[in-house]
Amino acid sequence: MNIGAKTVLLTGATGGLGHAIARRLAAAGARIVLSGRRADVLGALAGEIGAEVAAADLSDPAAVRALAAAYTDVDILVANAGVPASGRLQTYDDEQIERALLVNLHSPIILTHALAPHMVRRGCGHIVFMSSLSGKTATAGSSLYSATKYGLRGFGGAMRAELHGTGVGVSTIFPGFIREAGMFADANVKLPFGVGTKTAEQVADATLDAIENNRGEIDVAPVSLKLGTLLGAIAPETAARVTRKSGGAGIAMQFETGQLDKR
């Protein structure tokens, strides 16, 4: 799909990753509708790139449905919104668990359910889901987060198969550790020696590539993390041992500490 002059609904646009995606797609000629909870942050970005603002709290199912109903004419959905959900499950209460499921998994499904039929009728469209490498390999301290991101991968893959031949493409992006923006950066996590990172701009480039070339899945991570993810898929117990020895549990606990401070 040529993204020029197309309308994109981008959720999670208040964060650094959302900002990078918005700027990249706008630079490619798309008209952007920015969605997120903080209208003030959205307004500043909208003024910069000439976008429209559609503030919404995606933990509220009614707000998700209202957002979808207001933008049935969009050509592209980029479901980027997500909340941090790393750390031991016992550190979350019921309300926090529900919020993670609503924002990270429920809202992309509801938006797709509402918007995909309109794209199919027009014979053109694209849907992008922002998952994570945690949606391919589970590690200690990621049970809730991995549940949402594994679910998003499964949903994205199934929707891609269901919509094949309709003119509507579906892509899923799997970022690893992203420096200077996003949940990893916000939690000030210190990685073990040799664990590489990517930038928000590289995730934005992958998003554009996915839309323009109808890519099914794209990993945005150094080769070492991609290989670790592959090992986790084919030999999960071996991968778990390697993760423990390399300090992976320490990364998860840093995420937990950083998030507990902000809950």
Residue 145 among the catalytic residues = yes
What integer is the mean pLDDT of 69-83?
Answer: 97
Q: Is pLDDT at 216 greater than 60 in this prediction?
A: yes
DSSP label at 103?
I
Q: How far from the centroid of its chain's Cα atoms is residue 113's Cα?
A: 17
Tokens representing 253 are 């606990």
Q: pLDDT (tens digit, 9 = 90+) per residue, 147-179?
A: 999 999 999 999 999 999 999 999 999 998 887
Which residues are 52's β-sheet partners? 33
Question: Residue 65: which of 34, 111, 33 has the closest Cα?
Answer: 111
Q: What pLDDT was estimated at residue 106? A: 98
Average pLDDT taken over every residue of the chain = 88
Q: Count H helices, E strands: the chain?
A: 11, 9
Q: Is pLDDT at 145 greater than 80 in this prediction?
A: yes
Q: What pLDDT was estimated at residue 263? A: 43
Q: Please give the Cα distance from 208 to 245 (Å, whole number).
A: 36
Q: pLDDT (tens digit, 9 = 90+) per residue, 89-134?
A: 999 999 999 999 999 999 999 999 999 999 999 999 999 999 999 9
Q: pLDDT (tens digit, 9 = 90+) per residue, 193-209?
A: 456 789 999 999 999 99
Q: What pLDDT was estimated at residue 140? A: 78
Domains of the chain listed by start with CATH number: 7-260 (3.40.50.720)
Give the residue carrying structure tokens 């949940």.
183
Q: Please give the Cα distance from 193 to 199 (Å, whole number).
A: 18
Q: What pLDDT was estimated at residue 260? A: 45
Q: How many CA atoms lie within 13 A of 199 on its CB side?
A: 5
Q: Please give the Cα distance from 81 to 83 (Å, whole number).
A: 7
Which of 25-34, 80-89, 180-189 ranks highest by mean pLDDT? 25-34
Burial 29-38 (b: 16+ CB within 10 A, else e): ebbbbbbbbe
71, 92, 145, 150: which one is catalytic? 145
Q: Please give the Cα distance from 259 to 87 (Å, whole number).
A: 8
